Amino acid sequence: MVEVTRVPKAQAFMEGVINLRGRIIPVLDLRRRLGMADAERTEQSRIVVVSVRNLIVGLIVDSVSEVLRIPCSTIEAPPALGSTVGAEFIRGVGRIADRLLIVLDLNRLFSPGEQAALQTA
C-alpha cells in the first residue's frame, strides 16, 4: 500500500488519490463500495489498479493471493441473492477445479454520475 491523499468532500467509498508513475489515480475502498463492514488495513492490504469504463482506478482490497484468467465459459449466472447488499455488483460465479470464485462486474461499480465525479478527481 502506498500513501493515499484524501480528497475533500468525496463520496464515502472514495479513499483519495495516488500518484502512479506520474499519473493521478482515484482510489476506492472496495469494502465500503460493496456495503461491507470496514476492516483494519494490514500488511496484506493492496491497491489493485483496474480499468472501469475506460477509467483507471485503484481498489483497496484486503489481500491478493493470485491473479487468474477465467474463461467466460466457466462463469455461471449468479445465484438469486435477493436484496443482499452488493449483489448488484456480482457478474457470476466462476468454477475452477474444486473452487468457486465470485466474479464482480466492475462496470457496475459506478453510476454515470459517480464515474463523472471520479474523472474530475
- What per-residue confidence (pLDDT) applies to 120? 61
pLDDT digits (tens, 9 = 90+) for 37-71: 888 999 999 999 998 888 899 999 999 998 888 88
- What per-residue confidence (pLDDT) applies to 57? 93
**Cα–Cα distance for residue pair 58/76, rounded to 1 Å:** 27
Does residue 74 or residue 110 have the better pLDDT?
A: 74
Dihedral angle sign, alpha carbons of residues 106, 111, 112, 117: negative
pLDDT digits (tens, 9 = 90+) for 28-39: 999 888 888 888
- CATH homologous superfamily of 14-119: CheA-289, Domain 4 (2.40.50.180)
Region of residue 79 (phi > 0: left; psi between -120 and 50: alpha; otherwise: beta): beta
pLDDT digits (tens, 9 = 90+) for 82-117: 656 567 788 889 988 888 888 888 888 877 777 777
Dihedral angle sign, alpha carbons of residues 113, 41, 37, 46: positive
- What per-residue confidence (pLDDT) applies to 114? 75
- What per-residue confidence (pLDDT) applies to 119? 66
Cell numbers linked to 108? 457496475
* pTM of the predicted structure, to 2 decimals: 0.81
Q: What is the chain's Cα-based Rg?
A: 15
Q: In sequence order, which ranges of 2-111 are alpha helices (DSSP H)?
A: 30-33
